[in-house]
A and B are shown apart, each in its own frame.
Chain A
Amino acid sequence: MLARLATKRLLEVRQIFRQNHQTSRSFSTALNYHLDSPDNNPSIPWEFTNANKEKVKEILSHYPSNYKQSAVIPLLDLAQQQHGGWLPVSAMDAVAKVIEVAPIRVYEVATFYSMFNRAKVGKYHLLVCGTTPCMIRGSREIEDALLKHLGVKRNEVTKDGLFSVGEMECMGCCVNAPMITVADYSTGSEGYTYNYYEDLTPKRVVEIVEMLRRGEKPPHGTQNPQRTRCGPEGGNTTLLGEPKAPPCRDLDAC
């Protein structure tokens, strides 16, 4: 009896945690299957632009002609840049045709990698790092500030089609946490950039968004004026002079 009551309580406690856990787990690629919609269905024609066709040739030349399928990831990336940051099903079909495999083999790859967006994203896709160091340094507040400022939910695109906010895993900038990445699809695959903005505060991230909205290019990297790259605030505190040479045995003396 006692045990049963205890179990019940435990399950209740877990339930609370679980709800939190599940809301935080949604990528821009939530569904692993495709639902036809007016802007995303296999009957929409899709082709690489002429400029990108040259790039396709270049990419394919990296691989032996009998292993064309190796080019699937770079080609999907190119298609995503060309299509404003996301991959409609007809783009995946086009890639499948180029590398001469069945479309399902391309769908498998595109669904596996969370950086391939299979739903529409904004011209500036803002990805907030949610991994532990950034989370401890306040990435939740950064995200809340972004969502509140833009008035959208996660993975939703703003009405003007400019911004969307998503989450991603660690990008290795933990020393400058918290950080976001801005994937800039506003100029197609030519002007595509993928920049990190580090050492953010909720205020600074809103400023960056506004600069992007005005078409400016905010300086990427750390946003803390006191820091240079990933160095300490206010300049170096150690390693100020020339370091001493490592102690070595005098081999000649032996």
Chain B
Amino acid sequence: MGLGLIASRALRPAILHRSSRVLASQNPITRTITSTPELQNPEAATAQPDSPPDLPPRTPVAGARIHFSKPDDAIEVFVDGYPVKIPKGMTVLQACEVAGVDIPRFCYHSRLSIAGNCRMCLVEVEKSPKPVASCAMPALPGMKIKTSTPVAKKAREGVMEFLLMNHPLDCPICDQGGECDLQDQSMAFGSDRGRFTDMKRSVVDKNLGPLVKTVMTRCIQCTRCVRFATEVAGVQDLGMLGRGSGEEIGTYVEKLMTSELSGNVIDICPVGALTSKPFAFKARNWELKGTETIDVTDAVGSNIRIDSRGPEVMRILPRLNEDINEEWISDKTRFCYDGLKRQRLNDPMIRGADGRFKPVSWRDALAVVAEVAHQVKPKEIVGIAGQLSDAESMMALKDFLNKMGSNNVLCEGNGSHPCADLRSGYLLNSNIAGLEKADVFLLVGTQPRVEAPMVNARIRKTVQATHAKVGYIGPATDFNYDHQHLGTGPQTLLEIAEGRHPFCSAILNAKNPAIVVGAGLFERGDKDAIFAAVETIAKLGKVIRPDWNGLNVLLLNAAQAAALDLGLVPESSKSIESAKFLYLMGADDVNMEKVPDDAFVVYQGHHGDQSVYRANVILPAAAFSEKEGTYENTEGCTQQTLPAVPTVGDARDDWKIIRALSEVAGVQLPYDTLGAIRSRIKTVAPNLYNMDEREAATFSTLLKPELSEKMSLSAFGSAVENFYMTDSITRASKIMAQCSATLLKK
């Protein structure tokens, strides 16, 4: 028995007889906060003279840039005695950021409206009687802002204590742990103890669908998610319900969050109230290796970071790129990663006489393929690049087939007779960020919300900011902004081209009209006639000018732009029907019924998807997360993926397989390093050599000769039937399957 215990026994009767007031004064919990003793007397501390502004210039926080739209509008403020010049209208918080002082904040987010309800960003402003919420306070000329005075520090410490009052102490089991704003800021700005001893409140968790997990007790009511859903995602489902201590975030009625951007609320939630459901309890963020790469599930090429642990992709997060995806990504991009672990091809396989696949060695598989390739006529060799193919492998495929004597190489999604003559004919010419300048949009046969959610987010942003008009021609579909449904097919397009439609006046009166044509139209037989009609509209509305090119094509797949740049154009438009040797490089959306029964089909790819059922030989390849590959996005920006995880089984990079096959077939390709193949690409399409640069198309499509083909009057179809399942990776993903089951509109 310890001494303490004996002592306590002896003392017990005495304790019980004392009054509770005496006990309270001995209670460690009710002790006053004394963590920062100088804060006890803020007035005396502020009385100290300011240090002269001889501080070295500080770098702005997170590369904060200032753009002076009018030089006369610059004002000067002093942040901790250091003068900064900022444009008029900036808030105090932004001024501090420019001055290199990071103000703690929860509710403020640079891309959302200002709420000013967390009060964490309180700073002291000279001559202001109280600390001011810097996120909502416009900076005024000559303002003297003090961010680290005792008043400001004490204000933050108080706010933090209130925030932590009802915040559960479950950091050890919280998925946000380690990347939590509340955790970090309570370490930096909070006190080391709280005075709150009552029960914490608890809030019922909400069901927002298969992607977002909610633990609403952790919520600190910053309303970032409400503002994100309303302003960026355009779905008004979330709201702030109740008042006072009963306040909670919710949908009131049972409702799932049916937005293609819903995953972003996970990122913007400063605490662990909204976390990723598929990632729940899977890993801690400090165990993960981040690889900065790009997304290939659509043609936007969103910048992402793949977080991996060992050989496994654990999650995907967005990276900041103002020109492409800002800081959002679509749900498909974010949650498709579990598809990378399922249905993978890991061994070369040959279909035996019994119709079953048998694993073989690479040597045997390539020998069989090379032998068959030599047995057929060169004209009967057809190569199809899939929608996830990188530029290197497409270059290798084209070179290999050309060496074999065939020129029937195409990329799926580009149609059977693509036109690759002018780059402006297949690129988003006004670029994604440039869409914000447009004041009238004409969407022809494209549903940007499912085809390219990030482009749709830009259009929505523009519509919200400037009330730009949106006209849409195509099948009835969902929009999350105001639009006019002009018609469903070429009939309406003709009416506009001939100036008979009421929407014509909107295009004619617009300063920067933007026409966006969907790449789904590439598959139509009357594609050229449709494009001719669109070009007539472009001429009519002066859409293409030296200072503005508003004639855009919105591509569907990551491979499309690079394929057309590299000239993956088949010789004959009936190439697939006459094929005897079909080389599918990850092409899963080819209509296999068109392929003759006696054709020999080689499938090179990473997933056992649709085309594998028809394949004779399977060559396993690496997925985008496992290789270094060049991709060109829909606006013509060249970016590359980087390997985050090792490949599965015996799989190899696509271009290496084709290089090896060419050697076995006796037509050796002249490159055997990535550098060498990129040099080869440079001779064909120099723009693919300059990484992270957008090469604009130089000649406009108006150079094209006039065309007198007739349009068929069949209505435009929708290019993407199921947003969550568009390629082999997303079709293999369980999360995407859950999403299509629960979130798609029936």
The SS class assigned to the A binding surface is helix
Query: A6 to B15, Cβ gap below 8 A?
Result: yes
Answer whether A104 and B15 are a contact pair too, CB < 8 Å, given A7-B27, A18-B199, A111-B243.
no
Q: How far is it, in angstroms, between the C-alpha of A18 and the C-alpha of B11 when the chains are bound?
A: 29
Size class of the contact patch on chain B: 35 or more
Q: Which of A13, A32, A104 interacts with B236 by CB under 8 Å?
A: A104
Tell me which residues across on chain A come within 8 A of B28, comparing CB atoms: 3, 7
Q: How far is it, in angstroms, between the C-alpha of A168 and the C-alpha of B243 when the chains are bound?
A: 15
Q: How far is it, in angstroms, between the C-alpha of A3 and the C-alpha of B241 when the chains are bound?
A: 41
- Indicate if B338 sits at the interface (CB-CB under 8 A): no
Interface positions of A from 97 to 115, Cβ below 8 Å from B: 101-105, 107-108, 111-114
Tell me which residues across on chain B come within 8 A of A213, comparing CB atoms: none
Tell me which residues across on chain B come within 8 A of A42, comparing CB atoms: 253
- Indicate if B376 sits at the interface (CB-CB under 8 A): no
Q: How far is it, in angstroms, between the C-alpha of A103 and the C-alpha of B238 when the chains are bound?
A: 10
Answer whether A1 and B239 are a contact pair too, CB < 8 Å, given A14-B197, A18-B198, A104-B251.
no
Q: Which of A1, A89, A112 interacts with B253 by CB under 8 Å?
A: A89
Tell me which residues across on chain A come within 8 A of B4, comparing CB atoms: 1
Per-position 1/0 for A152-167, Cβ under 8 A of B: 0000000000000000
Answer whether A107 and B239 are a contact pair too, CB < 8 Å, given A5-B15, A33-B204.
yes
Q: How far is it, in angstroms, between the C-alpha of A112 and the C-alpha of B248 when the chains are bound?
A: 11
Which of B7, B8, B28, B246 has the most chain A CB atoms inside 10 A of its CB? Answer: B246
Q: How far is it, in angstroms, between the C-alpha of A193 and the C-alpha of B248 when the chains are bound?
A: 33
Q: How far is it, in angstroms, between the C-alpha of A219 and the C-alpha of B206 when the chains are bound?
A: 48
Tell me the minimal C-beta distance from B65 to chain A in angstroms: 34
Which of A2, A34, A36, A113 has the most chain B CB atoms inside 10 A of its CB? Answer: A2
- Indicate if B237 sits at the interface (CB-CB under 8 A): yes
Query: B24 to A108, Cβ gap below 8 A?
Result: no
Per-position 1/0 for B193-218, Cβ under 8 A of A: 00001110000101000000000000
- Indicate if A254 sits at the interface (CB-CB under 8 A): no
Answer whether A33 and B250 are a contact pair too, CB < 8 Å, given A1-B5, A5-B12, A7-B28.
yes
- Indicate if A62 sits at the interface (CB-CB under 8 A): no
Q: How far is it, in angstroms, between the C-alpha of A14 and the C-alpha of B24 when the chains are bound?
A: 12
Q: Which of A9, A36, A111 interacts with B241 by CB under 8 Å?
A: A111
Per-position 1/0 for B249-293, Cβ under 8 A of A: 011111000000000000000000000000000000000000000
Query: A34 to B198, Cβ gap below 8 A?
Result: no
- Indicate if B242 sits at the interface (CB-CB under 8 A): yes
- Indicate if B691 sits at the interface (CB-CB under 8 A): no
Answer whether A1 and B20 are a contact pair too, CB < 8 Å, given A18-B198, A104-B236, A107-B239.
no
Q: How far is it, in angstroms, between the C-alpha of A102 and the C-alpha of B251 when the chains are bound?
A: 11
Q: How far is it, in angstroms, between the C-alpha of A200 and the C-alpha of B387 when the chains are bound?
A: 79
Q: How far is it, in angstroms, between the C-alpha of A9 and the C-alpha of B250 when the chains are bound?
A: 38
Query: A7 to B29, Cβ gap below 8 A?
Result: yes
Which of B11, B20, B241, B248 has the most chain A CB atoms inside 10 A of its CB? Answer: B241
Query: B241 to A2, Cβ gap below 8 A?
Result: no
Query: B242 to A112, Cβ gap below 8 A?
Result: yes
Interface positions of B from 649 to 676, Cβ below 8 Å from A: none
Total A-B residue contacts, Cβ distance less than 8 Å: 86
Tell me which residues across on chain B come within 8 A of A6, comparing CB atoms: 15, 23-24, 26-27
Query: A10 to B241, Cβ gap below 8 A?
Result: no
- Indicate if A171 sits at the interface (CB-CB under 8 A): no
Tell me which residues across on chain B come within 8 A of A11, comparing CB atoms: 197
- Indicate if B240 sits at the interface (CB-CB under 8 A): yes
* Closest Cβ neighbor of B248 among chain A residues: A32
Query: B246 to A1, Cβ gap below 8 A?
Result: no
Query: A2 to B15, Cβ gap below 8 A?
Result: yes
Q: How far is it, in angstroms, between the C-alpha of A11 and the C-alpha of B197 when the chains are bound?
A: 8
* Closest Cβ neighbor of B18 among chain A residues: A6
Q: How far is it, in angstroms, between the C-alpha of A6 and the C-alpha of B7 when the chains are bound?
A: 15
Tell me which residues across on chain B come within 8 A of A33, comparing CB atoms: 204, 206, 241, 248, 250-253
Answer whether A5 and B242 are a contact pair too, CB < 8 Å, given A14-B197, A18-B199, A107-B252.
no
Q: How far is it, in angstroms, between the C-alpha of A105 and the C-alpha of B246 when the chains are bound?
A: 17
Query: A105 to B26, Cβ gap below 8 A?
Result: no
Q: Which of B15, B240, B254 interacts with A36 by CB under 8 Å?
A: B254
Tell me which residues across on chain B come within 8 A of A112, comparing CB atoms: 241-243
Per-position 1/0 for B1-34, Cβ under 8 A of A: 0001101100110010000100110111100000
Q: How far is it, in angstroms, between the C-alpha of A11 and the C-alpha of B4 when the chains are bound?
A: 22
* Closest Cβ neighbor of A93 among chain B residues: B253
Tell me which residues across on chain A come within 8 A of B23, comparing CB atoms: 6, 9-10
Beyond A5-B8, A101-B236, 14 additional contacts (C-beta under 8 Å) are A1-B4, A6-B23, A6-B27, A9-B23, A14-B198, A32-B241, A33-B206, A102-B237, A104-B236, A107-B239, A107-B253, A108-B241, A111-B241, A111-B243
6 A-B residue pairings within 8 Å (CB atoms): A3-B26, A11-B197, A32-B250, A33-B241, A104-B238, A111-B252
